[in-house]
Copies of this chain bind each other. A is one copy, B any other.
Amino acid sequence: MSSPAPRPRRRTEGRADAPRASLTPDSWIDAATEVLVDRGIDHVRVDVLATQLGVTRGSFYWHFRDREDLLRRVLQAWRERATEQLTARLEQAATDPREQLRDVISLPVRGRAAARAARIELAIRAWARRDAMARQAVDEADASRIGYVAQVFSALGFPIAEARARAFLLYAYVVGESLMAGQGGAAQREARSRFVERLLQQPLAP
């Protein structure tokens, strides 16, 4: 994610509060995301993160107004990465919609980066159960990803409303694979994914 410009430094603050050369806003955002995944949102606190990063609490305030500001930017960073992950390939106009569908369907089984992204996403969904700001970020990310998938179904010739229903079902399948990673072995997951790919491209029988 692109970091906003640093806030102006107040000269009155002591040397101990000066930001380490290596610490950027993203360092705090990444640390916060990690604590969120490992321990839950209640543990994402400035003191916990400062200790973990080996800096003073004060240096946090060079980059963020307060905890709320950090949390907002954790969500913003997640949304940008998460939407990007899905849309990067879809936006290459040259690609065939059938290929694009296969791409979306294979998202949950795509190795370690995808597994880490899935863990972050589940942690954010857990947080969204009880927090309006996180809820909104999740709803918007879901809507934007379902929208992209709906475009692919539209490109395949399905009517608008039906393309959206197909997109929702496909997206629920993708989320379900990461939410229910314990269901079936690799071969079963592979067979499921081939089945979903076929069924979802099939027109409704009259």
Which A residues lie at the B interface, using CB under 8 A?
38-40, 42, 119, 122-123, 125-126, 129-130, 135, 138-139, 142-143, 146, 161-162, 164-166, 168-169, 171-173, 175-177, 179-180, 182-184, 188, 191-192, 195-196, 198-200, 202, 204-205
Contact = CB atoms under 8 A, between A and B. Distances in A.
A125 B172 CA distance: 16
A165 B196 contact: yes
Contact of A169 (B129, B135, B161, B173): B173
B195 A142 contact: no
Chain A residues touching B, majority SS: helix
A192 B176 contact: no
B191 A161 contact: yes
B172 A176 contact: yes
17 contacts: A138-B182, A139-B182, A161-B191, A165-B195, A168-B184, A168-B192, A169-B192, A169-B199, A171-B176, A172-B172, A172-B177, A173-B176, A179-B179, A199-B199, A199-B202, A202-B202, A202-B205
Given A139-B182, A139-B183, A165-B191, A39 B130 contact: yes
Given A126-B129, A130-B39, A146 B183 contact: yes
A16 to B, nearest CB: 32
A165 to B, nearest CB: 4
A111 to B, nearest CB: 20
A186 to B, nearest CB: 14
Contacts of A184: 164, 168
